[in-house]
Structure 1
Amino acid sequence: MAREQIKVPFGYEPPAQTHKGTVFVFETFEDWTESDMQAFVAWAEAKKFVRAIFYPQHEETLRRMDISSSMPYYARVKQLESLVKQVNTTVQVDVDTWEGKRKKYTPMDTSLHFLTEKSSGPYFLCLSDRYANLFVTYPAFKEWIKTLRLYINEQFHVPLHGKLNEYAQRWEIVRFGNGS
């Protein structure tokens, strides 16, 4: 297949990209309120993300991660979808329910591979502080921290894992929702 030639004037430089890629949000979402969603959307708009994907996790995944959840998966998804419908934003906000279709434990590595294959980069991952402490202990963390930038929401005010200090240039603390 022949390449199509494009003519541009001498000295042309493409305009700088003003919007970033996709942010993935891993959480239980059972305690998110409308104000939490508004705070997240305001933060995402300030960071100029193109897309935000909320990824609620199945009970089996949460159980294996030792994270308690009082609401079943589908109730959390339904609540999250109603919050997403109420929000007015320039960021494309989606809820991914792939893990609900699997109905079993899904490792974070598998979930991230699935999400990055169907979304455009660059990639950002937003986790609560308790999720971040778990994520840093997984063997795939070293691979993923090179691929994406990590945003840690201080929602539960737990001390962060010491291993995060090795990658200090690849993550930062954010405050929105229940963490503010």
Structure 2
Amino acid sequence: MRNIKIPYGYEPAEALSKGTLIYYDSFEHTSDIQLDLAVQQAEQRSFAKLVLYPLHEQSTKRMYAEPVSAYYKREDRLHEWKRDRGYHDVAIESWEGRRKKYTPVETALHHIMDTYRAPYFLYVTPDMANLLASYASFEAWIVKVRLLLSAEPDHIHPRLTQYRQRWDWVGTDAT
């Protein structure tokens, strides 16, 4: 074994990155610009990994009660965007596509926590944040995950107000 001298205060580059930013969405109406903004946020805030988590059509139908295109079509579009932009560090999580059924958010988060590095930040739209806050399980998992909203919300669910310290939006740099 060989001794190595390092300067006082040295931190390896890996220790400087924050963990995982999970973009949790159906990606039905998400534009390339919105995807690029998520990559930009992951880089600016020094996340180790950006994970795109497309929801299965059964999950989307239960959450929004509106029709959505097939999971594989939305996933293929994300792979095409990633390939065209050259984002090799972006992961597209296909676990929900393999399940082929409705997946509650807490189940999805358990999978993410078992697979990726902490801390965990969920990148969502303001509408998705309000929807997630309306679920009974919200209070159980919001203490383990922070939310990063893609825009400033017009309307804030009372539970989001209650857990204001657990979320932020991309217009601010508090996280």
Instruction: Tell me, yes or no, whether TM beats 0.5.
Output: yes
Q: What pairs with 1:147-162 in structure 2 (closer than 5 Å)?
A: 147-154=144-151, 158-162=154-158
Q: Verify: 1:137 aligned to 2:149, yes or no.
A: no
Q: Verify: 1:39 aligned to 2:37, yes or no.
A: yes
- How many residues align? The count is 169
Q: Distance in 2 between matches of 1:18 and 1:69?
A: 41
Q: CA deviation at 1:82?
A: 0.7
TM-score, structure 2 length as denominator?
A: 0.84
User: Which structure 2 segments of 5+ residues have no match?
Assistant: none
For the residue of structure 2 that corresponds to 1:49, the secondary structure is: coil
TM-score, structure 1 length as denominator?
A: 0.82
| Cα deviations by residue, 1:121-169 (Å, 9 ceiling, x for unpaired) | 11111111111112112232112221111111238x6512122111111
**Residue identity matched to 2:76:** K
Conservation of the 8 A alpha-carbon contact between 1:22 and 1:49 = yes
Q: What pairs with 1:97-176 in structure 2 (closer than 5 Å)?
A: 97-154=94-151, 158-174=154-170
For the residue of structure 2 that corresponds to 1:48, the secondary structure is: coil
Judged with a 3 Å threshold, the aligned counterparts in structure 2 of structure 1 residues 37 and 66 are, in CA distance, closer, same or farther, namely closer
Percent of aligned positions that are identical: 32
1:63 alignment partner in structure 2 = 61
Greater percentage in strand: 1
1:53 alignment partner in structure 2 = 51
Supply the RMSD in Å over aligned alpha carbons. Answer: 2.5
For the residue of structure 2 that corresponds to 1:65, the secondary structure is: helix
| Aligned partner of 1:15 among 8, 11, 15 | 11
